[in-house]
Amino acid sequence: MKTSGPGWTYLSNHAHTILLLWQEPDLRVRDLAARIGITERAVIRILGELEAAGVLRKQREGRRNHYEIDGDTPLRHPLEQHVRLAQLLELLKGPPAGDQGASGRTNFSPRRTSTSQE
């Protein structure tokens, strides 16, 4: 993913990982690494950090992993904590590709709370 211009991007590799898994929850580590432009080892480290932080959950399905993103997670920096991850991902998802994006399907799992507000 080489481009001419600055050697930095506005989003981190963590954000790229979350965005890709939100769009395609069954991506392999190899595919994540290739699309982000980092090593498989770096992807494994990022996945571990995101799982430890409660941002994503991993479920084994046969020989593959399926990832669920907790969209209710607030962004981590104090300047951004008023924004939820779901809001950022909705902003970044871009226009639907043909009719495929028309289903409205997302890969968010609701955050479970111990109190009910009914």
Query: How do residues 2-61 score in pLDDT, each as one tens digit?
Result: 556 678 899 999 999 999 999 999 999 999 999 999 999 999 999 999 999 999 999 999
Contact 20, 13 (CB under 8 A): no
Residue 94 — pLDDT band, cuts 50, 70, 90?
confident
The residue among 31, 115, 14 whose CA lies nearest residue 73 is 14
State the first-to-last Cα distance of the chain, in angstroms, to the nearest integer: 48
Please classify residue 23 by burial: count the beta carbons closer than 10 Å to its beta carbon, then call 0-12 exposed, 13-18 middle and 19+ buried: middle
pLDDT of 101: 45
pTM, 2 dp: 0.75
Contact 19, 9 (CB under 8 A): no
For each of the domains in the chain, give its residue range(s) and CATH number, in order of start. Answer: 13-92 (1.10.10.10)
Left if phi > 0, otherwise alpha if psi is -120 to 50, otherwise beta: which for 26? Answer: alpha
